[in-house]
Amino acid sequence: MNNIKKSKYTSNILKGGGAIQDTKTLLKHWTETKPQDEIINNIVSENILGKKSRNRILDVLNCIFIPRYINGYSENHWMYLKKFVENEVPDNIIKPILYFYTSLNEPLIKDFVIEVLGQNYKKGILEVSSNMIELFIKNKVKNRSIPVSWGDKVINRVASGVYAALAEFGILEGKAKRKISTSLIPLESFFYIAFFIHKEGKSAKQIINNE
């Protein structure tokens, strides 16, 4: 995904991790025929997510769903995701696609997967812990590769959010001890992502070598 888009670093992920089931529910209710504020008001007032508080619903909407899939990159691609959900496409196909969009709009996830998980995988190191993510973030903040001013408490929560999201998206597997998943993504997911990258002007060779 190099050079497709540069997104801002935020701490949004600490609000919901992967939020896959919430995302699917929201996609069913999202529409282009109403203003965004009206849709949000309806979702909150009807509590379609079944959350305990209004603030929790707004967290999922404003920190997870809208930045990743509605206002994020690429414009209006949520419509394709909505069709997948409406047609009950299996989760194992949807998850890699949702991860793809998340990584485009959450650069911290993309950076950790490429710079740490990808390199460790090549070395045969599969074990992953939340502490690894926390250390990665601290080093990036310290050397200003991540241009934010997060304290230790925020870094810890962001690391936990990244860890949870990677597990939910299927990048990590296992319960007590998690490791990099060795499962291949379904061809349907691969074809969708490859087509997206192709539409961004990448050649076939660049698609195969794309990170």
pLDDT digits (tens, 9 = 90+) for 156-173: 999 999 999 999 999 999
pLDDT at residue 3 is higher than 50: no
Place of tokens 């460790």: 120
CB-hemisphere CA count at 13 Å for 204?
0
Whole-prediction pTM value? 0.90
Which two structure tokens, joined as six digits, stand for 50? 């079944």
- At residue 86's C-alpha, the angle toward residues 80 and 87, to 5°, is 90
Q: CATH code for 1-211?
A: 1.10.3540.10
pLDDT digits (tens, 9 = 90+) for 122-133: 999 999 999 999
Which is nearest to 111 in space by CA: 138, 151, 140, 83?
Answer: 140
pLDDT at residue 145 is higher than 80: yes
pLDDT at residue 181 is higher than 90: yes
pLDDT digits (tens, 9 = 90+) for 24-62: 999 999 999 999 999 999 999 999 999 999 999 999 999
DSSP string across 27-70: HHH--SSS-HHHHHHHHHHHTTT--SSHHHHHHIIIIIIIIIII
**In contact, 24 and 85? CB cutoff 8 Å:** yes
